[in-house]
Amino acid sequence: MNIEIQNLTFSYPTGVQALRGLSLTINSGGQVAIVGQNGAGKTTLVKHFNGLLQPTSGSVKIGDWDTREHSVAKMARRVGYVFQNPDEQLFSKNVGVEVAFGPKNLGMSAQQAEGQVKDALAMTELSDKTETNPYDLSATWRKMVALASVIAMDTDIVIFDEPTTGQDAANIARIANVIKVLRERGKTVITITHDIDFCAENFERVIAMSQGRILLDGNANDVLGQEDILATTYVDPPQLTRLGKRLGLQKTVRNEEEFLAGLNK
């Protein structure tokens, strides 16, 4: 299911123009990271994907659905959205009920919903915490509950807004694994992130935004190597990319394998 965005602009009621005309296609199964300084329009853009925001002009299509013609509740069948702050989306008395809420609302049969919940809990390593109140868990685990509750809805498209904020190394690895499993299942995964090393290691396509526009869009190595342009939206290239540049490696590298291969030449 492709995402098609044409000439999208968006102004908040206060008059702030957050998106200034952008066009974009994300193919089914694509893995895309969106980077850029605070206020660049990243969250405003992805809130258009499930109809939380409607274009001021231009259009957003998810498969054959134009977001202006369908309710947010209906869009939720195609697009799952994990908020930056899990506390904005968790409300149930225990983890099992929380994660089951989405699939039930989509009208899945009890059996199918149960299967989805079990799968999402296993993927997020929460299977032993189903009876726990989400607010008795640490912030790290609450984040995983938020992920699970969206994954259980089995949407073709999954959006993560800043999934690694405030997470420790172990949980970042868990989140990277969730993204890997979704990729293997052919899901489209779109992630907003400030964590540029996480971006480099987990995404094939990178979009850099600045002031409501797309600054760069392409293969991760090509985008992450453009140090000067990225600097205009206050993004530093990944650690190993910077190291590779400083050492004069011919190709832009973004992970350990590429770096060591480049060094060995």
Partner 1 sequence: MAIVSLQNVTYKYPLTDAPVLKNINLQVNEGEFVAVIGPNGAGKSTLCYTVAGFVPHFFKGELMGAVEVAGAESSKSNLHEWVLNVGLAFQNPFNQISGAKYTVFEEIAFGLENIGVPREEMIQRVNDAMKLTGISELADRSPYSLSGGQQQRVALTSILVMHPKVLVLDEPTSQMDPIGTREVFGVIRTLAERGMTVIMAEHKVEWIANFADRVVALHEGQIIEDGKPQEALTSDVLAGKGFGISRYTSVARKAKEIGLWKKDKLPVTLEEAVEGFKNV
Strand order in the sheet with 188-192: 79-82, 157-161, 188-192, 31-35, 205-210, 213-219
The answer to the question of residue 263 lying near partner 1 (CB under 8 A) is yes
Output the smallest distance, CB 48 to partner 1, in A.
19
- Pick from 217, 251, 255, 228: which is nearest to 239 by CA? 255
Nearer to partner 1, 110 or 139 (CB): 139
Encoded one letter per residue, x for contact with partner 1 by CB under 8 A and - for no contact, window 119-158 reads -------------------xxx------------------
Q: CB count, 10 Å around CB of 9?
A: 15
Nearest residue (CB) to partner 1, 13 versus 170? 170
For strands 17-26 and 3-11, give the pairing: antiparallel
For residue 92, count other CB atoms closer than 10 A to its CB: 15
Number of residues binding to partner 1, judged by CB under 8 A:
33
What are the beta bridge partners of residue 4?
A: 25, 61
Q: Identify the helix (H) or strand (E) that includes residue 98.
A: helix 95-105
**Residues in contact with 39: Cβ distance below 8 Å, sequence separation at least 6, in sequence order:** none
67-86: which residues touch partner 1 (CB under 8 A)? Answer: 84-85
**Residue closer to partner 1 (CB basis): 117 or 240:** 240
Q: Which residue has the tokens 């089995």?
A: 154
Q: Segment 193-252, which members bind partner 1 (CB under 8 A)?
A: 194, 196-197, 234-236, 238-240, 242-243, 246-247
> Which two structure tokens, joined as six digits, stand for 117?
């919940």
The distance of closest approach from Cβ of residue 94 to partner 1 in the complex, given in angstroms and rounded to an integer, is: 20
Contact region for partner 1 (CB under 8 A) — 23-31, 52-60, 182-190, 257-265? 257-265
Q: Is residue 264 at the binding interface for partner 1, with CB under 8 A as the rule?
A: yes
Question: Can you give the binding site for partner 1, defined by CB under 8 A?
Answer: 37-38, 84-85, 138-140, 165-172, 194, 196-197, 234-236, 238-240, 242-243, 246-247, 256, 259-260, 263-264
